[in-house]
A and B are shown apart, each in its own frame.
Chain A
Amino acid sequence: MSDFEYSDEEADYFYDDEEEMDTQEDGSAPSDDDMDMETFNDDFRVTGKGKRKSYEVECEPLSKSDVEKLMQQDVDHISGIFGVDDTTASLLLRFMDWNKEKLIEKYMDNASAISISAGISQPSIPSLPPPIRASSLSRGVEKPATRRSVRSAPSVSAKLLTKTKSLEPFVCPICFDDTQSDTMSLSCDHAFCTSCWNAYITSKIREEGEHWIRCMAEGCSLVAPDPFVKSALGTDTATWERFQELLVRHFVSHNRNLKYCPYPECTYTVSCPSAASKSSLASMVPTVTCGASPDHQFCFGCAIESDHRPVICAVASMWLRKCRDDSETANWIKSNTKECNKCQSTIEKNGGCNHMTCKKCKHEFCWVCMGPWSEHGTAWYSCNRYDEKASQDARDSQSKSRASLERYLHYYNRWANHEQSAKLSMELHAKTEKKMEEMQITSALTWIEVQFMKKAVDEVFKCRMTLKWTYAMAYYLEKGNEKELFEDNQRDLEKAVEDLSELLEQPIEADNIPTLRQKVTDKTVYVQKRNEIMLEDTANGFLEGRWTWNGTVEGFD
């Protein structure tokens, strides 16, 4: 029991949340639960930090700039191979959804075709020679005009901010304004005034969330490269940032190793290569935390719930599907129907006498004893055949079909109960805060010293979530020694959690505060330990392939 030792020294309680967080953020890659552990008081630390537990998954939180660095690496790689500038490489990668291998293959196959599709260069029209104008001569070289120039590296050189110095005034074909002299055009020479470009690009980014911005001319397929977008947006840095965010999102959404943090307005990304493949999700629950806040916890593999440990994504979603389909219906069926014991059709009796005739198989039976009607003779309304063998058999077969329903409801009720309790813990939170204030008044304890209550509530919530999902898992586990061990762990955790819950509900009296504090702290540590055992054992079981699923698990891959 040395692990659970509790010391009452003031010094142990002193810690600075903020400072710890700061060092964490600067340090490299804190693994997800370490973060939580860090904020814990030393008293509550059960295991030493550093070693990753088997139910934790290796992941790396990335800030927006970290992802941008990754993008830049890909861009550098491509520009190095193809000998093109960064902007071109970036457009090519975006066009191919950041699939480098495919891009290299396609580019080597036909560089000009992919440059045209990617909106970097214009398709050449063989019958019409490109218009030769003094200003376009320099750019003419960049356009792969003939097949021979296939290997020539295209480059994006947008014509930025050209002051038209021709004699006739420029009339923008979009706003019909002839007072503006600043125009911009891509290498296609479709010139529009700067304010129209600005409005167009802003509307694309802001309203459509589009990062792939084509030239405004009808049918022109050139795409605005980043420097062009930036200069068109001018001083509107907010939209430029939004544009960059769209690029990052596009990159993240096409990279299997990365996931965007789903919390509102969070710009962090999590890299978790070990959970990238679908097959890996059969043996792990990749619960990850993004770098922005330890509360930003989510499952890398699915969107079911932020933390559905210990059960794996596929089983969790199967369970939820079953619950959605079945629970209410199942409850109703259980209380209102019986099954015909010949054909197992479910029958609702909505009136009339007890002489039932199954609509499907025409089997006649007694609703009360479920025995065949033929044995009832003329005893129409007073069924006295309760103990007869036939009705006994009938009930047996009925009970068999009911058993599976009973079984499901057993797990479902417990699952739902923990869910409900976890929801109620929000209330408990408020109540606990009040109690903590009370304690500070009635006893000599300081704010920091009454934090044990809050920690206990947090722990109860966490464990209830674990417990909830253990019931989903147990429903699908095949009977046997392994399941029994699993259920033993489940029972121990459940009992510990209930004990701690009860302690938290106790009224507070000034003289029992020290003992209560002692008890709650001990219990919290114990519960925490039990939760860890539960998670650890299940995770190890998945890795060792120890869990066998019962027949109800269908379509499981």
Chain B
Amino acid sequence: MDARLRRVNKEIADCKNDKTSKITLELVDESPFHLKGAFPGPEGTPYEGGHFEVDIRIPDSYPFQPLKMKFITKVYHPNISSASGAICLDILKDAWSPVLTLKSTLISLQSLLCSPEPNDPQDAEVAKHYMTSRSSFEETARYWTHIYAGGPEAKAAGKARDTPVGAVRDEIAIAGLEKAHVDQFEALGFERTKVIDVLRRLNYRGANVAKITEDRVVEELLKS
């Protein structure tokens, strides 16, 4: 049997037998070289309670070349692209070693969620948010975990509902949007919640703002 296939099969089997790590692997299609991995968000972080899915492609020269991984679940994290899910992690690049496995790499991703490296960011906007206001960043990360990863409803959001004055700002901040953008479309006569929802869906942040035309946003607003 082909060494790569043998190894991948064993890795998948090992993962199935291991109940303690809570890491799961499943086939995406017939090929054992395209997988979907998943793990729970680490405790004590804004990602706690979330279920994070990762797209895994196993290159031909695996295990001598690193796995190709990206998040399927949207994650608000300095080293993970909020738009594409691309991951900035050294072991997926030059620090890869052939002794690393699917499981150990997924565990590394899990620990990346615990300890962001804002000085080596994948998503500059998110990293800036992380550096300037940790609490606001964590609020947004928790909100994203709730919305996209099925985590518990963010406490901060619940609190915000009790205080209507702060709620407006918080709603925008935790969606990772800018107030000026929301105001801009609200001024056109759309409901604020609708604007926030559409802008969040379009990922109207950072470099994306320049790419998405106002007409496109209005179109989406009219549709919703």
- Which A residues fall within an 8 A CB radius of B? 173-177, 192, 195-196, 199-200, 203-204, 207, 214, 216-220
Residues of A within 8 Å of B61, CB to CB, are 199, 203, 207
A219 to B6, CA, bound (A): 25
Q: Which of B10, B65, B98, B100 contacts A196 (CB 8 A)?
A: B98
Residues of A within 8 Å of B10, CB to CB, are 176
Residues of B within 8 Å of A200, CB to CB, are 64, 98
A174 to B100, CA, bound (A): 8
- Across the interface, do B65 and A176 meet the contact criterion of CB distance under 8 Å? no
- What are 24 A-to-B residue pairs whose CB atoms are below 8 Å? A173-B99, A174-B7, A174-B63, A175-B3, A175-B6, A175-B7, A176-B10, A177-B3, A192-B98, A199-B3, A199-B64, A200-B98, A203-B61, A203-B64, A204-B64, A216-B98, A216-B99, A217-B97, A217-B99, A218-B97, A218-B99, A218-B100, A219-B97, A220-B97
- Across the interface, do B65 and A207 meet the contact criterion of CB distance under 8 Å? yes
> Which B residue sits closest to A208, measured CB to CB?
B65
A280 to B63, CA, bound (A): 49
Residues of B within 8 Å of A176, CB to CB, are 6-7, 10
A177 to B7, CA, bound (A): 9
Digitize B82-114: 1 where CB-to-A-CB distance is under 8 Å, 0 elsewhere. 000000000000000111100000000000000
Known: A196-B3, A200-B98, A217-B97. 20 other contacts (CB 8 A): A173-B99, A174-B63, A174-B98, A174-B99, A175-B3, A175-B7, A176-B7, A177-B3, A192-B98, A196-B98, A199-B3, A199-B61, A204-B64, A214-B97, A216-B99, A217-B99, A218-B97, A218-B99, A218-B100, A219-B97
Q: On chain B, which size bracket covers the interface? A: 10 to 19
A195 to B97, CA, bound (A): 16
Smallest CB separation, B40 vs chain A (Å): 24
- Across the interface, do B6 and A216 meet the contact criterion of CB distance under 8 Å? no
A203 to B4, CA, bound (A): 14
A173 to B97, CA, bound (A): 12
Residues of A within 8 Å of B64, CB to CB, are 199-200, 203-204
Residues of B within 8 Å of A204, CB to CB, are 64
Residues of A within 8 Å of B6, CB to CB, are 175-177
> Which A residue sits closest to B100, measured CB to CB?
A218
Which chain B residues (16-55) contact chain A, with CB distance < 8 Å?
none
Residues of A within 8 Å of B99, CB to CB, are 173-174, 216-218
Residues of A within 8 Å of B97, CB to CB, are 214, 216-220
Residues of A within 8 Å of B63, CB to CB, are 174
Smallest CB separation, B74 vs chain A (Å): 30
Residues of A within 8 Å of B3, CB to CB, are 175, 177, 195-196, 199
Residues of B within 8 Å of A217, CB to CB, are 97, 99
A199 to B63, CA, bound (A): 9
Residues of B within 8 Å of A203, CB to CB, are 61, 64-65
Choose among B63, B65, B98, B100 the residue with the greatest number of A CB atoms under 10 Å from its CB: B98
Smallest CB separation, B7 vs chain A (Å): 6
A176 to B99, CA, bound (A): 11
Smallest CB separation, B6 vs chain A (Å): 6
Which chain B residues (56-83) contact chain A, with CB distance < 8 Å?
61, 63-65
Residues of A within 8 Å of B65, CB to CB, are 203, 207
Residues of B within 8 Å of A199, CB to CB, are 3, 61, 64
A203 to B96, CA, bound (A): 13
8 pairs of A and B residues whose beta carbons are closest in the complex: A203-B64, A218-B97, A175-B3, A200-B64, A216-B98, A203-B61, A176-B10, A174-B98
Smallest CB separation, B37 vs chain A (Å): 19
A216 to B98, CA, bound (A): 6
Smallest CB separation, A42 vs chain B (Å): 58
A219 to B91, CA, bound (A): 10
Smallest CB separation, B89 vs chain A (Å): 14
Smallest CB separation, A119 vs chain B (Å): 14
Smallest CB separation, B60 vs chain A (Å): 10
A203 to B6, CA, bound (A): 19
A196 to B65, CA, bound (A): 12
> Which B residue sits closest to A203, measured CB to CB?
B64
